[in-house]
Amino acid sequence: MYKSFFGFKDAPFKLTPDPDFLFLSKVHKKALTYLNYGLNSDSGGFILVTGEVGTGKTTLIRSVMKKNQEDIVFSRVNNTRLTSEELLSMINDDFGLNIKGKDKPQLLRDLTDFLIEQFSSKKRSVLIIDEAQNLSPEHLEEIRLISNLETDKYKLLQIILVGQPELRKILAKPELRAFRQRTNVSCHICPLTVEETEQYIYHRLNVAGNRDAVIFENGSIPLIYKFSRGIPRLINIACDFLLLSAFAEQTKEISLKMVKEVMSDLEKENMYWQSEQPENNDQNTDETRACKKNDDFHLDYVKKMDILKKVSETEKELSLTKHRLKAELENEYSSMDARFDKMVKELNLIRLQLAAKQNT
């Protein structure tokens, strides 16, 4: 709707996980390095990627898939609320295998034959299971057994599990000890920092075709960060509405007033954080605690920036008051000088008149 007005070739803040818009923050870059290592190593262990909703896990995975299409055959499963047989059917189906009318033993046999064929063709096979936090311990054990398909030296199937932080709690259960021991790469994606939020916004504007499409008033991006808490999906939602508001007003300046109004409306209508429950610190993973510490630090940063902004505004107001008073005093002094000069002239005139009368 507003693309032509701002000079975009694509919508900058769409919610689809487009790998072309992938922003490599410090933590995303680390996760990408871990993923590439896991895919290119011969260890064959599980790769675990976790993160809160909207932190960019799926975008990261799609970027990896896009860059490795020639060397790797992927099967990606998104629906994890299935029976073990349905899960196996979805895996085979995404690998391009015929699943019609086949029971579990036939599906396993077909999968094994396919993996051997790919290995013989010097291609790697990778299974990506998204929303893995919905898998039961029984499903995870089934997946572990599928991962046992191997030759004497190499695993035939590399498995990546992608999910929300709850997945780590599930994997911590005693009955999944064997699964945990097979996980050789693990990373957790934290939300962006306030500095990364600004970089993220300009990155997406640039990819969309116009980095300088809008001007953000000082202090507006920290407010976006405060609303979104550094979650890329919420940053996208906020910025999309801000661009829409700017378009409606036919302006290319994002003011503090506009940001406050839009963030307030979004929070009232959607209550993104309203349903959050207090975290149980005893169950937090190291990664989650690190993210929370990072988030608390940058929320403090935003508060400090707000205080500094108010101090700066106060100093500016005091300076203006000082200059105004100085100007008023100078004007008063100037006026007094003018009146004094007038009085001196009048006195001189009187002296001249008196001198003239005395001479006559």
Residue pair 50/188 in contact (Cβ under 8 Å)? The answer is yes
Where the chain has pLDDT below 70, the residues are: 42-44, 270-309, 311-312, 360
The reported pLDDT for the residue numbered 270 is 66
Q: What is the 3-state secondary structure (H, E, C) of the chain?
A: CCHHHHCCCCCCCCCCCCHHHCCCCHHHHHHHHHHHHHHHCCCCCEEEEEECCCCCHHHHHHHHHHHCCCCEEEEEECCCCCCHHHHHHHHHHHCCCCCCCCCHHHHHHHHHHHHHHHHHCCCEEEEEECCHHHCCHHHHHHHHHHCCCECCCCECCEEEEEECCHHHHHHCCHHHHHHHHCEEEEEEECCCCHHHHHHHHHHHHHHHCCCCCCEECCCHHHHHHHHHCCCHHHHHHHHHHHHHHHHHCCCCEECHHHHHHHHHHHHHHHCCCCCCCCCCCCCCCHHHHHHHHHHHHHHHHHHHHHHHHHHHHHHHHHHHHHHHHHHHHHHHHHHHHHHHHHHHHHHHHHHHHHHHHHHC
Question: What are the distances in angstroms from CA 140 to CA 34, 78, 219?
Answer: 22, 15, 46
The reported pLDDT for the residue numbered 14 is 93
Taking each helix axis from N to C end, the angle separating 194-208 and 220-228, rounded to the nearest 10 degrees, works out to 100
Residue pair 91/111 in contact (Cβ under 8 Å)? The answer is yes
Residue pair 92/111 in contact (Cβ under 8 Å)? The answer is yes
Instruction: Name the residue among 202, 237, 198 with its Cα closest to residue 53.
Output: 237
Cα 171 vs. chain centroid, distance in angstroms?
26
How would you label 214-242 residue by residue, b for 16+ Cβ within 10 Å and e otherwise?
bebeebbbbbbbbbbbbbbbbbbbbbbbb
The reported pLDDT for the residue numbered 210 is 93
Residue 59 has a CB neighbour count (10 Å cut-off) of: 20
